[in-house]
Structure 1
């Protein structure tokens, strides 16, 4: 019954957080602190905390497993990922360490370990934010996730060195894991589409990845991520990820509750958290500068840096091993950073729009390999977004003989559609430089089929601002979104569900009118 009341309380505060414009996870953190404050009144016992620890750990493993399902390991072997993460780690640690020594007047070893813990960014929060905005596979999302994975690997090394522990000799077996990929593919092929597929995902994330890696002295989080990544190229990887979504979300509530329920902070802990929160802009500026130095566009650098502007729950794990007395102050610091980061990422795209004139001057003239297309050739119709709606529109118009071109910010989607014979280019519709360099002289109509409503609104406005006078058509799930798209300049906006219903009715009507 106690756990049921926790769920109800977490739901209430999560709903309140959403109501005031914060992500629900901030409400879950608040619920944890409130439960810690209530203490004996709500019957929080050590056994309850242990149960919550297990649930939260399962949530983190499932999250990292699903991140792995959407990850290509080739994205890690890039200079902006490896160089950006390593340089940020060293520079951030060197800059923050003196500040900690000045504020706290503690030993250089404690200051160094705290600085290292604060150099990491939150894998859970960043992945959750990027996933909710459908940006995990966008270029800036892939850069951010790549940096987070490198940081997690650094954290594992730090914990091993500081605690005097090392992986067992059996850990070398992980290098043979790629040999299991054909077996994993076959298991997924034969698991069907229902409960067996869900159980397979749970087994790989929690047992093979989690317990398996722990058994050989490695991180269970790294194991879950590794097994997810091995399945990333399977055609049903997305389906497996979607099937685990609800389970993962429920368990992650436990993760955020656990951070708060660990206990209430004292004045010194709050002061430390406040001081470290003031250093968050330094983390953001450093990431932005490094990404731009590695030839990223200002927009990609800004959005990647925004995703990484927070402190890490992995830092809590590091501190719990090497500096347990600092666990509570750092937990409050992480909580504060989550609140700040949530607001930054909530307005990241509009914020970039306002800052773009200042940020663009820092771009290097050297072009990054993920350059946006500058010419759409002789295409008469442009389709933006190649999910199910975009593909259906493309195939219908292709049969009618129209010259088409399509754009998508998901490299996997670009590869898939190219393999199927569609003319598609990689591009991010929300990139200001894309619109400034785009040549679309022959285009007469644009179909907006992206998932993100904000991307449709920005695209419509940019098209009209660039002088495009042709037809702009979009679909939307809700009437208020449809109205905003039309206010931005679209000619027609169709409600997805209404049009689907009308289409079904039209087919039925046609069948009934056919001669018997």
Structure 2
């Protein structure tokens, strides 16, 4: 049965990715098809799904800026959104109950309020997958979305502790000692090398110390994985560890999406109830947009954040399961919410993937939400006398900047969407601003770029470089455009957009090494 399920996942993922949808939608569809055919659920699928979620939260922790959670745009917006979404959904459920259209909704108002609370959450797994596929995990709107989701996870932990009467063990205070063990964790990472032992070190932190350690003291295991990720995030090899675990995490998450699609086959009445819940999603999106825009975010950023969070969370299934065990909620609601979660993924995936097109279609109406006092990340960018611009200030971008400065002097500008990386570049004497070249509004914010002669696309993901190349073409830029690529097909795609020089990092690596060796050594003759 496992072979059949893997075949279904591959086939559906391949087909839907060819039509422009994220592969995760194909995995959901594969789960539905597998379940519809009445095939036996493979043993261990739920364990793989849980493992994927744990590794996902550990990976988030490796990239998380804890100080960012303390900003009002994160904690205040997530709290306001939860209150508004819960109230709205509760009102809609109560209205359906009063109309008497379905016995499923004939519930006491405290249960309806609980359902409203559960449906106010968005899926961390879905949102992070969508952001990773777009290469926007570090984009400003992606940072805001992840911050909101983490705050929601904290609310979920609090709710589960109260509703299940699961009081943390007296030994739970021991987790406060984990920060003092950071030197030990760092030492183990240093001594783990770069092979399979390094990967096992990451799994030990995520599953052993984090998830199982928190579970032993009656705390949420996934929260433990997140905390461990945060603790080792300051290590120089944290990014390397995240990349090492990436493939393993992705494979396990396939199990998560398959398991969501295999929750069961609902009746027509249950399907109608799930579709009704999906009709509430646009209002949930509107609430997200309204709330985050109050903190000075531009309409584009607010919309992208809202679209990333346009879905229901698997947390709703947990809440329904608890209520069902206590006899307060019919087991039918488990299937209703499972269907609503699955359908919300099917709706949210294309919206998130095509957020640029959605924004262009709504830009006229969204302009009314333009903030009077924009967020510091959202101010206009004046290029002035800048002659060369480098988009992406990682290692390649820094090298390009230093080389161009010899010809252009101080008329070189670097653009980096990760604030910490921009700060490091500025400390080293480079003129770098914080900006997201994968954001449509970034290009709309540019002012006085007539002196610019050259743009170098040095972003780490091909999607970002392609997007920037299209924007430059749309703006009618007539200067030179150069870019980096990894594969021959990427070189061809960039050249088709008018990029005059594409540096294939893999093909040129050998030539660069030989040139460096010749410069460093005195060769005879």
Normalised by the length of structure 1, the TM-score is 0.90
Q: Does 1:90 align with 2:87?
A: no
CA gap of 1:356–1:505, structure 2 versus 1, over 3 A, is farther
Contact 1:381 1:402 (C-alpha < 8 Å) held by counterparts: no
What corresponds to 1:447 in structure 2?
456
- Per the alignment, residue 159 of structure 1 pairs with 160
Deviation at 1:498, TM superposition (A): 4.8
**Residue 366 of structure 1 pairs with residue 373 of structure 2:** yes
User: Is 1:330 aligned to residue 337 of structure 2?
Assistant: yes
1:470 to 455, 474, 479: 479
User: 1:354, CA displacement in angstroms?
Assistant: 3.7
Aligned CA-pair RMSD: 2.8
How far is 1:247 from its partner? Answer: 1.0
Q: Distance in 2 between matches of 1:455 and 1:24?
A: 19
C-alpha distance in 1 between matches for 2:375 and 2:40 = 56
Question: For the structure 1 residues 168 and 346, does the alpha-carbon distance in structure 2 shift closer, same or farther, using more than 3 Å as the test?
Answer: same
* From 387, 393, 397, the counterpart of 1:390: 397
- Cα deviation for residue 227 of structure 1 reads 0.6
Q: Per the alignment, in what secondary structure is the counterpart of residue 136 of structure 2?
A: coil
Distance 1:368 1:27, change over 3 A: same
Unaligned 5+ residue runs, structure 1? none
**Partner residue in 1 for 2:56:** 63
Which residue number corresponds to residue 291 of structure 1?
292
Counterparts in 2 of 1:345-364, with a 5 A limit? 345-364=352-371
Q: 1:239 maps to which residue?
A: 240
- Residue 101 of structure 2: aligned partner: none
Alpha-carbon shift at residue 114 of structure 1 (Å):
1.3
Residues 1:242 and 1:430: Cα distance change in structure 2 (over 3 Å) = closer
Query: Closer, same or farther in 2 for the Cα pair 1:5/1:459, shift >3 Å?
Result: closer
Q: Secondary structure at the match of 2:119?
A: helix
Q: Partner of 1:253 in structure 2?
A: 254
Residue 18 of structure 1 aligns with which residue?
Answer: 17
Distance 1:255 1:235 in 2: 31
Structure 1 residues 214 and 510, CA gap change in structure 2 (3 angstroms): closer
Alignment partner, residue 101 of structure 1: 94
| Secondary structure of the corresponding residue to residue 366 of structure 2 | helix
Per-residue CA deviations over 1:110-150 (Å, capped at 9, x if unaligned) read 21111111100000010111122221121111110110011
Structure 1 residue 185 displacement after superposition: 1.9
> Which of 397-406 and 225-234 deviates more?
397-406
Kept after mapping to 1: 8 A contact 2:389/2:455:
yes
TM-score, structure 2 length as denominator?
0.89
Distance in 2 between the 1:154 and 1:122 partners? 13
Quote the offset at 1:491 in angstroms: 4.3
Query: Are 2:135 and 2:463, in contact at CA under 8 Å, matched by a contact in 1?
Result: no
SS at match of 2:415: strand
State the distance in 1 between where 2:91 and 2:167 align. 29
Contact 1:270 1:332 in 2 (8 A): yes
Structure 2 CA distance for aligned equivalents of residues 380 and 134 of structure 1: 28
Cα deviation for residue 6 of structure 1 reads 2.3
Say which is worse superposed, 303-312 or 452-461, in terms of deviation: 452-461
Compare 173-182 and 139-148 and name the one that shifted more: 173-182
Distance (Å, rounded) in 2 between the aligned partners of 1:173 and 1:509 = 56
Unmatched 5+ residue regions in structure 2?
A: 97-104, 326-330
Q: Secondary structure at the match of 2:430?
A: coil
Is 1:80–2:73 an aligned residue pair? yes
Counterpart secondary structure, 2:128: helix
Q: Helix, strand or coil: the match of 1:440? A: coil
Contact 2:48–2:252 (Cα < 8 Å) also in 1: yes
Q: Residues 380 and 402 of structure 1 are in contact (CA less than 8 Å); yes or no, is this contact kept in structure 2? A: no
8 Å CA contact 1:373, 1:427 repeated in 2: no
- Given the alignment of the two structures, is residue 38 of structure 1 paired with residue 45 of structure 2, yes or no? no
Following superposition, the deviation at residue 454 of structure 1 comes to: 4.8
Structure 2 residue aligned with 1:141:
142
Q: For the Cα contact (< 8 Å) 1:372–1:427, is it kept in 2? A: no
Deviations 1:149-188 (A, max 9, x none): 1111111222222233322232233333322222222222
Matches within 5 A, 1:124-273: 124-273=125-274
CA offset at residue 379 of structure 1?
3.6
**Mean alpha-carbon deviation: is it higher for 83-92 or for 104-113?**
104-113
In the alignment, what sits opposite 2:431?
423
Superposed displacement of residue 310, structure 1: 0.5
Q: Tell me the distance in 1 between the aligned counterparts of 2:359 and 2:392.
A: 21
Find the counterpart in structure 1 of residue 100 from structure 2.
none
Distance 1:482 1:99 in 2: 52
SS in 2 for 1:447: strand
Summarize the Cα distance change of 1:265–1:384 in structure 2 as closer, same or farther, 3 Å threshold: same
Q: Is the 8 A contact 1:204 1:227 kept in 2?
A: yes
User: Matches of 2:107 and 2:420 in 1, distance apart?
Assistant: 49
